[in-house]
Protein backbone atom coordinates (compact mmCIF):
# COMPACT_ATOMS: atom_id res chain seq x y z
CA UNK A 1 0.00 0.00 0.00
CA UNK A 2 2.59 2.50 -1.09
CA UNK A 3 1.43 6.10 -1.10
CA UNK A 4 3.45 8.51 -3.23
CA UNK A 5 5.28 11.15 -1.19
CA UNK A 6 3.51 13.89 -3.13
CA UNK A 7 0.15 12.49 -1.94
CA UNK A 8 1.30 12.71 1.65
CA UNK A 9 2.61 16.23 1.12
CA UNK A 10 -0.63 17.36 -0.54
CA UNK A 11 -2.63 15.88 2.36
CA UNK A 12 -0.53 17.75 4.91
CA UNK A 13 -0.86 21.04 3.01
CA UNK A 14 -4.65 20.66 2.67
CA UNK A 15 -4.96 19.81 6.38
CA UNK A 16 -2.91 22.85 7.44
CA UNK A 17 -4.85 25.22 5.16
CA UNK A 18 -8.24 23.85 6.24
CA UNK A 19 -7.38 24.06 9.95
CA UNK A 20 -5.99 27.58 9.51
CA UNK A 21 -9.23 28.74 7.90
CA UNK A 22 -11.34 26.88 10.48
CA UNK A 23 -9.53 28.37 13.49
CA UNK A 24 -9.38 31.93 12.14
CA UNK A 25 -11.11 34.34 14.55
CA UNK A 26 -11.96 31.50 16.97
CA UNK A 27 -10.67 31.50 20.55
CA UNK A 28 -9.36 28.17 21.87
CA UNK A 29 -10.94 28.82 25.29
CA UNK A 30 -14.37 28.98 23.65
CA UNK A 31 -13.90 25.48 22.25
CA UNK A 32 -13.02 23.99 25.65
CA UNK A 33 -15.91 25.81 27.35
CA UNK A 34 -18.31 24.59 24.67
CA UNK A 35 -17.19 20.97 24.99
CA UNK A 36 -17.72 21.06 28.78
CA UNK A 37 -21.37 22.09 28.31
CA UNK A 38 -22.35 18.93 26.40
CA UNK A 39 -25.06 16.58 27.70
CA UNK A 40 -23.18 13.42 26.86
CA UNK A 41 -25.96 10.98 27.70
CA UNK A 42 -27.17 11.66 24.14
CA UNK A 43 -23.97 10.02 22.91
CA UNK A 44 -25.37 6.61 23.87
CA UNK A 45 -28.02 6.48 21.09
CA UNK A 46 -25.55 8.26 18.79
CA UNK A 47 -23.01 5.50 19.41
CA UNK A 48 -25.63 2.78 18.77
CA UNK A 49 -26.50 4.31 15.40
CA UNK A 50 -22.79 4.59 14.61
CA UNK A 51 -22.46 0.84 15.25
CA UNK A 52 -25.47 0.20 13.02
CA UNK A 53 -23.91 2.38 10.31
CA UNK A 54 -20.69 0.34 10.33
CA UNK A 55 -22.54 -2.99 10.37
CA UNK A 56 -24.82 -2.01 7.46
CA UNK A 57 -21.81 -0.93 5.40
CA UNK A 58 -20.28 -4.37 5.85
CA UNK A 59 -23.53 -6.06 4.79
CA UNK A 60 -23.87 -3.87 1.69
CA UNK A 61 -20.26 -4.48 0.70
CA UNK A 62 -20.98 -8.21 0.62
CA UNK A 63 -23.84 -7.63 -1.85
CA UNK A 64 -21.35 -6.38 -4.45
CA UNK A 65 -19.55 -9.73 -4.74
CA UNK A 66 -20.63 -12.60 -6.99
CA UNK A 67 -19.42 -15.17 -4.42
CA UNK A 68 -20.53 -15.32 -0.79
CA UNK A 69 -18.14 -13.48 1.51
CA UNK A 70 -18.01 -13.98 5.27
CA UNK A 71 -19.83 -11.15 7.09
CA UNK A 72 -17.19 -11.35 9.81
CA UNK A 73 -14.46 -10.80 7.21
CA UNK A 74 -16.39 -7.94 5.62
CA UNK A 75 -16.94 -6.21 8.96
CA UNK A 76 -13.31 -6.64 10.00
CA UNK A 77 -11.99 -5.20 6.72
CA UNK A 78 -14.54 -2.36 6.90
CA UNK A 79 -13.37 -1.36 10.37
CA UNK A 80 -9.70 -1.59 9.38
CA UNK A 81 -10.48 0.69 6.43
CA UNK A 82 -12.21 3.23 8.67
CA UNK A 83 -9.28 3.11 11.08
CA UNK A 84 -6.76 3.74 8.31
CA UNK A 85 -8.83 6.60 6.84
CA UNK A 86 -8.68 8.31 10.22
CA UNK A 87 -4.94 7.79 10.71
CA UNK A 88 -3.31 7.89 7.27
CA UNK A 89 -3.52 10.56 4.55
CA UNK A 90 -5.31 10.50 1.20
CA UNK A 91 -8.08 8.01 2.15
CA UNK A 92 -5.55 5.18 2.35
CA UNK A 93 -8.11 3.03 4.14
CA UNK A 94 -9.92 2.35 0.87
CA UNK A 95 -6.86 0.51 -0.45
CA UNK A 96 -6.14 -1.21 2.85
CA UNK A 97 -9.67 -2.61 3.30
CA UNK A 98 -9.57 -4.06 -0.23
CA UNK A 99 -6.17 -5.62 0.50
CA UNK A 100 -7.35 -7.03 3.83
CA UNK A 101 -10.52 -8.58 2.42
CA UNK A 102 -8.70 -10.01 -0.57
CA UNK A 103 -6.09 -11.55 1.68
CA UNK A 104 -8.50 -12.99 4.26
CA UNK A 105 -11.20 -14.22 1.86
CA UNK A 106 -9.02 -15.33 -1.09
CA UNK A 107 -10.59 -12.81 -3.45
CA UNK A 108 -8.71 -10.87 -6.12
CA UNK A 109 -7.61 -7.54 -4.67
CA UNK A 110 -8.52 -5.86 -7.96
CA UNK A 111 -12.06 -7.21 -7.62
CA UNK A 112 -12.18 -6.00 -4.01
CA UNK A 113 -11.01 -2.54 -5.03
CA UNK A 114 -13.70 -2.37 -7.74
CA UNK A 115 -16.33 -3.07 -5.08
CA UNK A 116 -14.84 -0.31 -2.92
CA UNK A 117 -15.36 2.08 -5.85
CA UNK A 118 -18.95 0.81 -6.08
CA UNK A 119 -19.39 1.60 -2.39
CA UNK A 120 -18.39 5.19 -2.98
CA UNK A 121 -20.66 5.38 -6.04
CA UNK A 122 -23.70 4.19 -4.10
CA UNK A 123 -22.84 6.57 -1.27
CA UNK A 124 -22.72 9.46 -3.70
CA UNK A 125 -25.95 8.50 -5.44
CA UNK A 126 -27.73 8.19 -2.09
CA UNK A 127 -26.55 11.65 -1.05
CA UNK A 128 -27.71 12.99 -4.42
CA UNK A 129 -31.14 11.51 -3.63
CA UNK A 130 -31.14 13.25 -0.25
CA UNK A 131 -30.14 16.51 -1.95
CA UNK A 132 -33.20 16.25 -4.16
CA UNK A 133 -35.43 15.64 -1.14
CA UNK A 134 -33.91 18.59 0.71
CA UNK A 135 -34.51 20.99 -2.18
CA UNK A 136 -38.04 19.67 -2.66
CA UNK A 137 -38.95 20.09 1.01
CA UNK A 138 -37.15 23.41 1.48
CA UNK A 139 -38.83 24.90 -1.60
CA UNK A 140 -42.41 23.72 -1.20
CA UNK A 141 -43.08 22.85 2.45
CA UNK A 142 -42.64 26.37 3.79
CA UNK A 143 -41.52 24.92 7.11
CA UNK A 144 -37.82 24.57 6.45
CA UNK A 145 -35.46 27.51 6.48
CA UNK A 146 -31.75 27.11 5.81
CA UNK A 147 -30.94 30.25 7.75
CA UNK A 148 -28.85 32.66 5.67
CA UNK A 149 -30.41 33.24 2.24
CA UNK A 150 -27.05 34.34 0.90
CA UNK A 151 -25.66 30.90 1.70
CA UNK A 152 -28.52 29.00 0.08
CA UNK A 153 -26.79 29.57 -3.24
CA UNK A 154 -23.63 27.90 -1.94
CA UNK A 155 -25.61 24.75 -1.15
CA UNK A 156 -27.08 24.79 -4.65
CA UNK A 157 -23.64 25.27 -6.22
CA UNK A 158 -22.09 22.48 -4.13
CA UNK A 159 -25.00 20.21 -4.98
CA UNK A 160 -24.64 20.79 -8.72
CA UNK A 161 -20.94 19.87 -8.57
CA UNK A 162 -21.71 16.79 -6.47
CA UNK A 163 -24.53 15.63 -8.77
CA UNK A 164 -22.50 16.14 -11.95
CA UNK A 165 -19.54 14.22 -10.53
CA UNK A 166 -21.62 11.19 -9.59
CA UNK A 167 -23.73 11.32 -12.75
CA UNK A 168 -20.56 11.00 -14.85
CA UNK A 169 -19.20 8.26 -12.58
CA UNK A 170 -22.49 6.32 -12.69
CA UNK A 171 -22.72 6.58 -16.48
CA UNK A 172 -19.14 5.35 -16.83
CA UNK A 173 -19.60 2.35 -14.55
CA UNK A 174 -22.96 1.13 -15.89
CA UNK A 175 -21.53 1.27 -19.42
CA UNK A 176 -18.22 -0.30 -18.40
CA UNK A 177 -19.08 -3.81 -19.61
CA UNK A 178 -20.26 -2.46 -22.96
CA UNK A 179 -16.89 -0.85 -23.70
CA UNK A 180 -14.65 -3.04 -21.55
CA UNK A 181 -13.29 -5.26 -24.34
CA UNK A 182 -12.40 -2.25 -26.51
CA UNK A 183 -10.78 -0.38 -23.62
CA UNK A 184 -8.86 -3.46 -22.53
CA UNK A 185 -7.69 -4.15 -26.08
CA UNK A 186 -6.50 -0.60 -26.76
CA UNK A 187 -4.70 -0.22 -23.43
CA UNK A 188 -3.05 -3.64 -23.72
CA UNK A 189 -1.72 -2.82 -27.21
CA UNK A 190 -0.29 0.48 -25.99
CA UNK A 191 1.34 -1.10 -22.93
CA UNK A 192 2.86 -3.93 -24.99
CA UNK A 193 5.01 -1.32 -26.70
CA UNK A 194 6.81 -0.83 -23.37
CA UNK A 195 6.48 -4.25 -21.73
CA UNK A 196 4.59 -7.37 -22.82
CA UNK A 197 4.70 -8.83 -19.31
CA UNK A 198 3.29 -5.68 -17.72
CA UNK A 199 0.59 -5.42 -20.42
CA UNK A 200 -0.58 -8.97 -19.71
CA UNK A 201 -0.56 -8.33 -15.96
CA UNK A 202 -2.53 -5.10 -16.44
CA UNK A 203 -5.09 -6.87 -18.65
CA UNK A 204 -5.54 -9.60 -16.04
CA UNK A 205 -6.09 -7.03 -13.29
CA UNK A 206 -8.57 -5.13 -15.45
CA UNK A 207 -10.59 -8.33 -15.95
CA UNK A 208 -10.63 -8.92 -12.19
CA UNK A 209 -11.62 -5.30 -11.65
CA UNK A 210 -14.56 -5.77 -14.03
CA UNK A 211 -15.75 -8.74 -11.99
CA UNK A 212 -16.23 -6.37 -9.09
CA UNK A 213 -18.78 -4.40 -11.12
CA UNK A 214 -20.96 -7.46 -11.73
CA UNK A 215 -23.64 -6.19 -9.33
CA UNK A 216 -25.19 -4.19 -12.17
CA UNK A 217 -26.15 -7.46 -13.89
CA UNK A 218 -28.42 -8.47 -11.00
CA UNK A 219 -31.56 -6.37 -10.51
CA UNK A 220 -32.25 -7.95 -7.11
CA UNK A 221 -28.83 -6.88 -5.87
CA UNK A 222 -29.40 -3.37 -7.16
CA UNK A 223 -32.64 -3.09 -5.15
CA UNK A 224 -30.95 -4.49 -2.02
CA UNK A 225 -28.05 -2.03 -2.52
CA UNK A 226 -30.48 0.90 -2.76
CA UNK A 227 -32.32 -0.09 0.43
CA UNK A 228 -29.10 -0.65 2.36
CA UNK A 229 -27.59 2.61 1.08
CA UNK A 230 -30.57 4.62 2.32
CA UNK A 231 -30.47 2.78 5.68
CA UNK A 232 -26.73 3.48 5.99
CA UNK A 233 -27.09 7.22 5.55
CA UNK A 234 -30.20 7.45 7.71
CA UNK A 235 -28.12 5.79 10.45
CA UNK A 236 -25.36 8.35 9.88
CA UNK A 237 -27.90 11.19 10.03
CA UNK A 238 -29.37 9.87 13.29
CA UNK A 239 -25.86 9.70 14.76
CA UNK A 240 -25.47 13.42 14.04
CA UNK A 241 -29.04 14.15 15.19
CA UNK A 242 -28.43 12.86 18.72
CA UNK A 243 -25.05 14.59 18.91
CA UNK A 244 -26.76 17.87 18.01
CA UNK A 245 -29.23 17.21 20.82
CA UNK A 246 -26.31 16.90 23.24
CA UNK A 247 -25.59 20.59 22.63
CA UNK A 248 -29.23 21.76 22.55
CA UNK A 249 -29.18 22.43 18.81
CA UNK A 250 -32.84 21.83 17.99
CA UNK A 251 -32.53 22.19 14.24
CA UNK A 252 -34.73 20.95 11.41
CA UNK A 253 -34.95 17.19 10.93
CA UNK A 254 -33.21 17.78 7.59
CA UNK A 255 -30.17 19.40 9.23
CA UNK A 256 -28.21 16.13 9.72
CA UNK A 257 -28.65 15.29 6.03
CA UNK A 258 -27.46 18.74 4.97
CA UNK A 259 -24.42 18.26 7.21
CA UNK A 260 -23.72 14.85 5.68
CA UNK A 261 -23.72 16.40 2.22
CA UNK A 262 -21.23 19.10 3.21
CA UNK A 263 -19.04 16.65 5.11
CA UNK A 264 -19.00 14.33 2.09
CA UNK A 265 -18.03 17.21 -0.19
CA UNK A 266 -15.17 18.42 2.00
CA UNK A 267 -13.70 15.03 2.96
CA UNK A 268 -13.32 14.25 -0.73
CA UNK A 269 -10.24 16.45 -0.41
CA UNK A 270 -7.27 14.25 0.59
CA UNK A 271 -6.52 15.67 4.03
CA UNK A 272 -4.79 13.79 6.84
CA UNK A 273 -7.47 11.63 8.45
CA UNK A 274 -10.22 14.11 7.42
CA UNK A 275 -8.77 16.59 9.93
CA UNK A 276 -9.52 20.12 8.83
CA UNK A 277 -11.82 19.14 5.98
CA UNK A 278 -14.29 17.67 8.49
CA UNK A 279 -14.25 20.97 10.39
CA UNK A 280 -14.91 22.95 7.21
CA UNK A 281 -17.87 20.69 6.40
CA UNK A 282 -19.47 21.46 9.75
CA UNK A 283 -18.71 25.18 9.58
CA UNK A 284 -20.37 25.53 6.17
CA UNK A 285 -23.19 23.09 6.91
CA UNK A 286 -24.19 24.45 10.32
CA UNK A 287 -23.65 27.98 9.04
CA UNK A 288 -26.66 27.47 6.78
CA UNK A 289 -28.78 27.12 9.91
CA UNK A 290 -27.41 30.24 11.54
CA UNK A 291 -24.94 28.44 13.82
CA UNK A 292 -21.86 30.58 14.49
CA UNK A 293 -18.43 29.52 13.29
CA UNK A 294 -16.97 29.02 16.82
CA UNK A 295 -19.93 26.84 17.81
CA UNK A 296 -19.80 24.81 14.58
CA UNK A 297 -16.04 24.30 14.91
CA UNK A 298 -16.36 23.21 18.55
CA UNK A 299 -19.14 20.77 17.70
CA UNK A 300 -17.09 19.33 14.83
CA UNK A 301 -14.35 18.25 17.24
CA UNK A 302 -16.87 16.55 19.54
CA UNK A 303 -18.39 14.75 16.57
CA UNK A 304 -15.02 13.74 15.17
CA UNK A 305 -13.87 12.40 18.54
CA UNK A 306 -16.95 10.24 19.17
CA UNK A 307 -17.22 9.23 15.52
CA UNK A 308 -13.59 8.19 15.04
CA UNK A 309 -12.07 7.03 18.34
CA UNK A 310 -14.32 3.94 18.74
CA UNK A 311 -13.81 3.10 15.07
CA UNK A 312 -10.02 3.45 15.37
CA UNK A 313 -9.93 1.19 18.44
CA UNK A 314 -12.01 -1.56 16.81
CA UNK A 315 -10.07 -1.18 13.56
CA UNK A 316 -6.73 -1.54 15.35
CA UNK A 317 -7.90 -4.73 17.07
CA UNK A 318 -8.82 -6.30 13.72
CA UNK A 319 -5.66 -4.89 12.15
CA UNK A 320 -3.45 -6.73 14.64
CA UNK A 321 -5.59 -9.86 14.34
CA UNK A 322 -4.78 -9.83 10.64
CA UNK A 323 -1.15 -10.14 11.72
CA UNK A 324 0.02 -6.83 10.31
CA UNK A 325 2.02 -4.00 11.84
CA UNK A 326 2.29 -0.39 10.70
CA UNK A 327 5.93 -0.77 9.71
CA UNK A 328 4.89 -3.48 7.25
CA UNK A 329 2.24 -1.40 5.54
CA UNK A 330 4.74 0.38 3.31
CA UNK A 331 5.84 -3.02 1.99
CA UNK A 332 2.35 -3.97 0.84
CA UNK A 333 1.97 -3.81 -2.92
CA UNK A 334 -1.38 -2.88 -4.37
CA UNK A 335 -2.63 -5.53 -6.72
Structure confidence by residue, pLDDT tens digits, 30-49:
999 999 999 999 999 999 99
Reported for 104-107, long-range contacts at CB under 8 A and 24+ positions apart, including other chains, are 104/73, 104/76, 104/77, 104/322, 105/69, 105/70, 105/73, 107/65, 107/67, 107/69
DSSP class of residue 215? G
Mean model confidence pLDDT for the chain: 80
For the ranges 248-252, 261-265, 269-273, the lowest mean pLDDT is seen at 269-273
93-137: pLDDT as tens digits: 888 888 888 888 888 877 788 788 888 888 887 887 777 777 666
**C-alpha–C-alpha distance, residues 324 and 231, integer Å:** 32
Whether 310 is in a domain gets the answer yes
- Count Cβ atoms within 10 A of the Cβ of residue 41 and give its class: 0-12 exposed, 13-18 middle, 19 or more buried: exposed
Asked if residue 247 is part of any domain, the answer here is yes
Residue 213 scores a pLDDT above 80: no
> What total number of domains does the chain contain?
1
In the predicted model, is pLDDT for residue 231 greater than 80? yes
Query: Domain range for residue 91?
Result: 48-107+119-175+219-329
Give yes or no for residue 65 having a pLDDT over 70: yes
Q: Name the least confident of 47-56, 101-110, 180-189, 311-320.
A: 180-189
Closest CA to 135 of 103, 166, 110, 157: 157
Sign of CA dihedral 248, 262, 309, 104: positive
Q: Are 273 and 87 in contact (CB under 8 A)?
A: yes
Tell me which long-range contacts 200-206 makes (C-beta under 8 A, separation of at least 24).
Answer: 205/110, 205/335, 206/110, 206/180
Structural domain contains residue 297: yes
Residues 6 or more apart in contact with residue 297 via CB below 8 angstroms = 22, 23, 26, 31, 279, 282, 283
Find all residues with CB under 8 Å of 52, minimum gap 6, and list them: 235
Specify the pTM: 0.78
For residue 125, which of 169, 91, 86, 87 has the smallest C-alpha distance? 169
Amino acid sequence: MKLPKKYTLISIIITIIALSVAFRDVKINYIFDYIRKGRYLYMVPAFLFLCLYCFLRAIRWGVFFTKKISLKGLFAATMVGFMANNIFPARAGEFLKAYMLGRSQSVSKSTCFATVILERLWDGLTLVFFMGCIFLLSTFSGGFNLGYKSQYGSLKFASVIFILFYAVAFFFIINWEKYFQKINGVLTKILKIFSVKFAEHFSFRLVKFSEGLAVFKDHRKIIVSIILSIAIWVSAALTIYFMLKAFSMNLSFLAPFVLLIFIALFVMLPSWGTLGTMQMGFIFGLGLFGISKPEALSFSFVYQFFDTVPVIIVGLVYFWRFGLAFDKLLKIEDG
